[in-house]
Chain A
């Protein structure tokens, strides 16, 4: 679970790249801490990302877009899909596949995860335009 030293380090990095209003650590000190992050895509849409920190940084954190997304074909993105880079949903949210466990290290920063999520969301919007599966644009990580 994220400790206070790590949280300070992460905050430092996040503050360097993002306005302080763009993120908020939630439920710190409980068994289910998480980070909420807002992002604005180029198309002007707003998304909120939830990063669960219960087992961070020792394992890949679970990351969600805080709503259920749908494919261009109208299918709920609630289950594992290699082509759409998603995993089983929780809380009614779409879960993003962002890092493979084989490429994970405890040194990976939350900001890096945020960038991966940002990339995922932009590609999701591209998918909505073209109908192409997301892995057309995004390689898989091990």
Chain B
């Protein structure tokens, strides 16, 4: 590749980038000419040249001719002359003639993660596949962080579209309103790593168990970033069945804190966690009335006003630490056994359940203030715990059903039956069971 294509002086506009990988593809194709696409950030004097159309929403598009030798006649907005040795010369059309102009290269795959070398085994991560279920405020950030770390293959699952109420905590921006989250996040991943493989599934995973199983089997690790328990339980069962690790994360009410659970095959599963005193399902943060109504977290008989009071969204800054923890656990699992700069974390992140508090409220009200907290729990620190396998777990254990409170229910039933027997019909004229 011609490294003599140097950065232009700041005063020399436009700034033009040529896709370095496309130069290689053009040479390899053996053709002498191929029309490509130019994308300009309108009014900013910045243009990118590609052989193939991009999905990104640039301000304006034009044409570029990739060729061995530019024709005398101006037939496109730009021409890129590619020599046999891979060097390239940029020509810009102006006044019905070509004018040579300096250009820079969009880096090739091998150069993309040069800053991460020594910390992460980028080459190894490029071969890893992560399945992300749920692309809301958690899943979107995690996806992009993993792309930045060099993960090379993704399966994205979410049937929702980008909506206004998502924006403030989501990676998507206002001009992406209405897009499928799978498409928007795929573009964000490809924006960080154009060489990533991204499969999009805009479906409700709970209604596609076969797809879920096949994708879990393909993945090296699964991120469960949904806000409903049905998909968590479904994924938990599929992870156990497929013997794949998975990470579950959530924020609790108004993101006053959160927790992260990691399933490692052979250890406690997500269903083992439920029912331990440490995990409280009812404290889940509700960020979206429609989805909470859909999965029953807001009862269908609740009025709009009451539901509005239940929807309590926390700050983006409060969910970031939880996302970061999920990303780090993912990277540690993907890098396990490799000689990387994060190998030491394998000895640190040994727990399977982690708790974090952003504020000393509600569940965390009795935690100590940060000054002088000493060994007592306080805010903005991770606390790890070992959740043991529950031998009676119906998912990963021997499997026995929960009959725990049947006695209480039976006692209540007998009480009601006795009350029923002793209660006279107060108005026999309109008993209306039909």
| Chain A positions near chain B (C-beta within 8 angstroms) | 1, 5-6, 9-10, 13, 41-43, 55, 57-60, 67-74, 80-82, 86-88, 97, 100-109, 111-112, 115-116, 118-119, 122-123, 125-126, 128-131, 137, 142
Tell me if A106 and B271 are in contact (CB < 8 A): yes
Interface residues of B (CB under 8 A from A): 206, 209, 228-230, 233-234, 237, 271, 274-275, 281-282, 284, 295-297, 299-302, 392-395, 399-403, 405-406, 409-410, 412-413, 416-417, 419-421, 423-427, 430-434
Closest B residue to A12 by CB, please name it: B401
Neighbouring A residues of B425 by C-beta, 8 Å: 128-129
A129 partner residues in chain B, CB cutoff 8 A = 420, 423-426, 431
Contacts of B426 in A (CB 8 A): 129-131
Select which of A67, A71, A107, A128 is within 8 A of B275 by beta carbon: A107
Q: Is the Cβ of A103 less than 8 Å from the Cβ of B282?
A: yes
B409 contacts A69, CB within 8 Å? no
Query: Is the pair B229, A101 in contact by a Cβ cutoff of 8 Å?
Result: yes
Across the interface, A112 reaches (CB within 8 A) one of B237, B409, B421, namely: B409
The contact of B405 among A60, A112, A131, by CB within 8 Å, is A112
B229 to chain A: which residues have CB within 8 Å?
A: 58-59, 101, 104
Cβ–Cβ contact A58 & B394, under 8 A: no
Residues of chain A within 8 A of B424, CB atoms compared: 129
Identify A105's interface contact among B271, B282, B299, CB under 8 A. Answer: B271
Neighbour of A5 across the interface among B301, B399, B433, CB < 8 A: B399
Task: Check A87–B301 contact: CB distance below 8 A.
Answer: yes
Residues of B within 8 A of A82 (CB): 299, 301-302
Which residues of chain A are near B233, meaning CB under 8 Å? Answer: 57-59, 106
User: Could you tell me the distance between the alpha carbons of A1 and B409 in the complex, rounded to whole angstroms?
Assistant: 26
Partner of A72, one of B302, B423, B430: B430
- Asked if B300 and A142 make an inter-chain contact with CB atoms under 8 angstroms apart, the answer reads no
Expressed in whole angstroms, the Cα–Cα distance for A100 and B302 within the complex equals: 13
Distance of A115 Cα from B417 Cα, bound (Å): 13
**Do A58 and B410 touch (CB < 8 A)?**
no
Asked if A128 meets B406 with Cβ closer than 8 Å, knowing A82-B301, A119-B416, the reply is no
In the complex, the chain A residue whose C-beta lies closest to that of B281 is: A102
Residue numbers in B under 8 Å from A74 (CB-CB): 430, 432
Closest 4 pairs between A and B when the two form their complex, measured CB to CB? A80-B301, A109-B401, A59-B230, A101-B296
B401 close to A107 (CB less than 8 A): yes
Q: For the complex formed, measure the closest distance between the CB of A56 and the CB atoms of chain B, giving whole angstroms.
A: 10
Tell me the minimal C-beta distance from B392 to chain A in angstroms.
Answer: 8
A1 to B392 alpha-carbon distance, docked (Å): 20
Known: A59-B230, A112-B406. 4 other contacts (CB 8 A): A72-B427, A82-B302, A111-B406, A119-B409
B295 CB contacts on chain A under 8 angstroms: 59, 101
Bound-state CA distance A109–B301 (Å) is 25
In the bound assembly, the distance between CA atoms of A111 and B427 in angstroms comes to: 34
B417 near A107 (CB under 8 angstroms)?
no
CB distance from B95 to the nearest CB of A (A): 67
